Amino acid sequence: MATLELNGLRKSFGLIDVLHGIDLALADGEMLVIVGASGCGKSTLLRLVAGLERPTSGRVLVDGRDVTNLDPSERDIAMVFQNYALYPHMSVFDNMAYGLRIRGLSRADIRQRVDEAATLLGLDALLARKPRQLSGGQRQRVAMGRAIVRHPKLFLFDEPLSNLDAKLRLTMRAEIRRLQRRLGVTSLFVTHDQVEAMTLGDRLLVMHLGRPAQLATPMEVFARPADTYVAGFIGAPTMNFLPAQLARGGTAVQLDAGLLLPFADGRRPGTDGDSIVIGIRPEHLVAGAGLELAIDLIEPLGSETLVHGHLSRVEDQSLTVKLVGPAPAGDRLVVMPQSEHLHVFDHASGRRIDPIGEETVSPPLAALGTAD
C-alpha cells in the first residue's frame, strides 16, 4: 500500500516537450486511469513513475519517499505490459517466480506466493505450461500474477488489454478491477479505450498534448467535461458541437442553424451576443420540431440506431443522433436538443462555461500543473 505524488514532472526528448509539468497525487489504494489520444504522453508518464525513463525535471514520490533517481528495481513497483513480456522458455510457475528468485526469497516463500496468486487468478492447473500453450487471457493473468507475487507498493498497467478480443477484454476488465479492490494496491492504468477508462478508475485523468485536460471521477468527466477536447474525446459516439450566441439576456441560446433554445434550468452563462459553442450528446437529440437533418448514413445497432447527417440550413455542420429503435423512413430527420442536457463552452478557449454562481467542474489548468 502506498501513496504516489508527482511534482512538476516534465519530460523532453531533444527539442520535443512530451510532458509539461505534471502535478498529481494518488491516495493509498486508489486506482487512477489515464486516457488520451496517441502521443498525449500517457505512456511516458507511466514509464517515468516506473523508472524506465528519467524526467527532465520534477520529482516522483512513493509514500513520501523521493524515488526519482532510483532504478526500477529499487522502487517496489510492479508493471503489467501490453505484450505480457513473458519468458517463452519458462513455465507459468517460473515466469511468476523469476522476480522473487532474483530478490533471494526462499523456495518455501516463493512457492507460497506463487500458489496464492495462482489461486487468486485461476491459474492453478496451468502452472506447468509454457506461454505458447496459453490463450491471450491466460497470458495476461500470468503477467498479472508475476506482478502480484511481488507484493508491490504500486501497480502500473500499460494498456494491458489492448491485444485481447472484445469479449475477453470485458472479462479481464472486471477481473482487474476486482483484484485491485481486493488487494488494495494503489494503481495507475493507462488506456486509450473509453469503456476501460469509465469503468475501471476511481478517478480519471484525461491527457491532451502532454497536459492534464481534466482530473475528476469518470462520471463527472462524462457529465461535465472541462472543455471541448474532453467533451469530444469521452463518449461514443462523440458529442456534437454547434456554434451559437447567447440571447434573451443570456438565458437562451441562438443556434446558427436558426433555432432558439431557452436554458431549461434558467441558467445565465453570459450576456447577449456572446459567442459560444453548444455541446449536445447524440442520445440527447430527440425526434421533434427543431433541427432538420439531411441523413448521410444510418447504422442499425439492434435496440439503437445511429443516424449521421448534416444540418439542412448549415451544409458543413455534421450531426449524429442516437435513436431508440429503428430510424424513421425517408432522407430527412427533424430533432430537438434537450435543453437540460446542453453543454456550454467558450468559443475562443473551448473551456466549459458554468452557470453564474455554480462551482466550476474542476480546478483551473494551472492548478493541475499545466502551466509552462
Question: Per residue in 50-63, pLDDT tens?
Answer: 999 999 999 999 99
Backbone angles phi, psi at 6, to 5 degrees: -115, 125
Tell the residue number behind the cell numbers 445511429, with chain if given: 306
State residue 270's pLDDT score: 74
* Cα–Cα distance, 34 to 60 (Å, whole number): 17
CA atoms 168, 169, 170, 176: torsion sign? positive
Which portions of the chain are predicted below pLDDT 70? Answer: 1, 265-267, 315, 355-372
State residue 44's pLDDT score: 94
C-alpha cell at 344: 456550454
Distances (CA, A) of 368 to 41, 56, 63, 220: 15, 18, 20, 16
State residue 91's pLDDT score: 95
Angle at 80 between CA 125 and CA 221, to 5 degrees: 120
State residue 372's pLDDT score: 35
* Cα–Cα distance, 223 to 106 (Å, whole number): 51
Strand segments (E) across 142-284: 154-158, 186-191, 203-208, 211-216, 240-247, 252-255, 260-262, 275-280
State residue 54's pLDDT score: 95
State residue 160's pLDDT score: 86
pTM beyond 0.85: the answer is yes
Domains, the chain, in order of start with CATH, read 4-229 (3.40.50.300), 238-357 (no CATH)
State residue 355's pLDDT score: 62
